[in-house]
Amino acid sequence: MTLSEVHGKVRYLLGGGVLPLLGRSLAEVVDRAVLFQPQGDDLYVVDAFGTTVDPVVRGGAARLKGRLPRGDSTPAILALDESDRALFPGGWRALALLGDGDDVVAVLLAEPPGDEMTSLLASADGLVRLWRRFASIDDREKTLASLSYLLYAAKSAFPSIFEPLPPDDLVLFLVDVLRESFAPRRLTLIRDDGGVLVAVAGDEGPLPSREGLFAARNLSAVPVPLDDRHGEVLGRQNLDRLSPAYSVVLPLFGGDRRFFFLLQWGSVASEEASFVLELMGGVTARAMAVNALREERERQIAELSEREFSLRALRQAMRSLMGSDSVDSLVGSLLDGFAEMSQSRQVLVVLHDEKRGGYGLAGRRSDGVSVSADLAWAPCGQPFSVPPLPSISTASAARRLFGDLGLPDPPRELLPDETDRLFYLTDGSILMGFVALAPSVTAGRYGDDENLETLAVVAAGALRRCRCGWRT
């Protein structure tokens, strides 16, 4: 026999040819026999001759539990008792178990084996063990190769995961990492938007309801299989809804952000893959927490910087107001101070003027340019006495107040509809006027309200010193 022929025969046997060879060898020495392989609790027929049998013996593998050989190098020969013969009808008297552990080959025999049959079965037992060992090593090598790739992909992704990315961007990056690493048949990213679960990336699929894992407050980045063992954890409704489309759920959280990855395994589906998924989830959750803290720190630094700027601007505005020796210079300082501290697109100052006999527009600063104004609004010899007022008001609340005082509705030139905030200038119960601010140039609210209130109080005091603005 040449080496090429030996190689071909060995390759054939290690590829599963042991079973056909065993069947042919048995047919030469016995009239009838059946070969089984266990699968779950049942035994499935892989070969039979000299008899007719059902293709599956239900409960046959479960019957053999505890009687399977463990590490013994010789085949186990079981004599069939009454209950065994009920499971294998047809006058069978012996069952030979070839191999080791649960993954054996069972040979059903009509008679207990003699010396020749025992020798044949011993040789077959050795071949079955070699075949199983080779298959196990081959499967393990494939698993290790897959695991090696997954670990390499995780290693490559970790540096990017710890980049200073916002948590929302980080989980979107992880979508690409998981798709590249695990090649899932389906991958969906779900975000918890304050009680509503929304798919934000990945493939379309059924959405879970807020029960079980998806409603829990404290989450760990541990994959949860979608199977009956985890029905209570996931919620029965979610298990029924998600299990046809997905295999596992990976929860992630960072600060107040909560996400869920739903994966359906593809070519990679092993316990080791689940461990790598848990590793990547745990690292990403830690990175999300770090980035959330970084975001919070940057937000607080920005607030402190804004507050420092506001305090500096307040100090400068107060010095300017207290140094004003006339109403005109005071109005100019008031416009500059409020504009600087609020970054408002437009600042209006409305004051009572005794000479004109009423309230009117005293000054306007628009797009960084301050201009004097002379627009009358409500004729009255003396400023109105008002009940205690809040320091800050909206335009609509101010209009209601003026209506209650019997004043006409201010024209839009004095109180635009777009007014963001309005600050009353009062001396005790006397309403000397108000300052109206349009939204800031940043299109959002800017400036510390407390500092702006302080500026309004200082302005009222400066107006009182200038005889409340109606004596110049």
Residue 34 inside a domain? The answer is yes
User: Are residues 458 and 388 part of one domain?
Assistant: yes
Local confidence pLDDT in tens for the 472 residues of the chain? 677 776 677 777 777 788 888 888 888 888 899 999 888 888 889 888 888 888 888 888 888 776 766 666 678 888 888 888 888 888 888 888 888 777 788 898 988 888 888 888 888 888 888 888 877 665 665 656 566 667 666 777 777 776 777 777 888 888 888 887 778 889 999 888 877 888 889 888 888 888 888 887 777 888 888 888 888 888 888 888 898 999 889 888 866 778 899 998 876 666 677 777 888 888 877 777 777 777 777 777 777 777 777 777 777 777 777 777 778 888 888 888 888 888 888 999 988 887 777 888 888 888 777 766 667 777 787 888 888 888 888 888 888 888 888 888 888 888 888 888 899 998 888 888 899 999 888 766 777 788 888 888 888 888 887 754 444 3
Closest CA to 99 of 66, 133, 65: 133
For 54-166, where are the alpha helices, taking DSSP H only?
Answer: 60-64, 82-87, 115-161
Q: Are residues 117 and 225 in the same domain?
A: no
Statement to judge: residues 131 and 206 lie in one domain: no
The domain in which residue 391 lies consists of 323-469
CA torsion angle for 461, 412, 363, 440 (degrees, to 10)? 80
Same domain, 121 and 170: no
DSSP line for 172-198: HHHHHHHHHHH--SEEEEEEEETTEEE
Same domain, 284 and 166: yes
- Which pLDDT tens digit goes with each residue over 257-292? 788 999 988 766 666 777 778 888 888 777 777 777
In a domain, 169, yes or no: yes
CA torsion angle 424 428 430 431 (round to 10):
0
Residues 462 and 424 occupy one common structural domain: yes
Q: How far apart are CA 304 and CA 306, in angstroms?
A: 5
Number of structural domains the chain divides into:
3
Both 95 and 178 in one domain: the answer is no
Residue 308: inside a domain, yes or no? no
Task: Measure the N-to-C terminal CA separation of the chain; round to a whole number of Å.
Answer: 125
Q: Is 142 a domain residue? A: no
Domain co-membership, 128 together with 192? no
Shared domain check, 93 and 47: yes
Query: Over the chain, what is the mean pLDDT?
Result: 81
Residue 333 lies in a domain: yes
Q: What's this model's pTM, rounded to 2 decimal places?
A: 0.47
Name the token pair of 105.
């080959």
Pick from 54, 37, 47: nearest CA to 103 = 37
* One domain, residues 327 and 450: yes
Whether 150 is in a domain gets the answer: no
Evaluated on CA atoms 94, 98, 100, 105, the torsion sign reads: negative
For the stretch 18-24, contacts whose Cβ atoms lie closer than 8 Å and that sit 24 or more positions apart, written own/partner, are 18/105, 18/124, 18/127, 18/128, 18/131, 19/46, 19/47, 19/105, 20/47, 21/127, 22/47, 22/98, 22/105, 22/107, 22/124, 22/127, 22/128, 23/47, 23/49
431 forms beta bridges with 426
**Amino acid (one-letter) located at 273:** A
d(CA 448, CA 269): 56
Token readout for 263 is 């994966």
Residue 250 domain-assigned (yes or no): yes
Q: At what angle do helices 449-465 and 327-342 cross, to 10 degrees?
A: 180
Which residues, in sequence order, are bridge partners of residue 250? 261
Q: What CATH number should be reported for the domain holding residue 40?
A: 3.30.450.40
- Taking CA atoms, 398 is separated from 207, 374, 422, 453, in Å, by 48, 21, 8, 16
CB 422 within 8 A of CB 395: yes
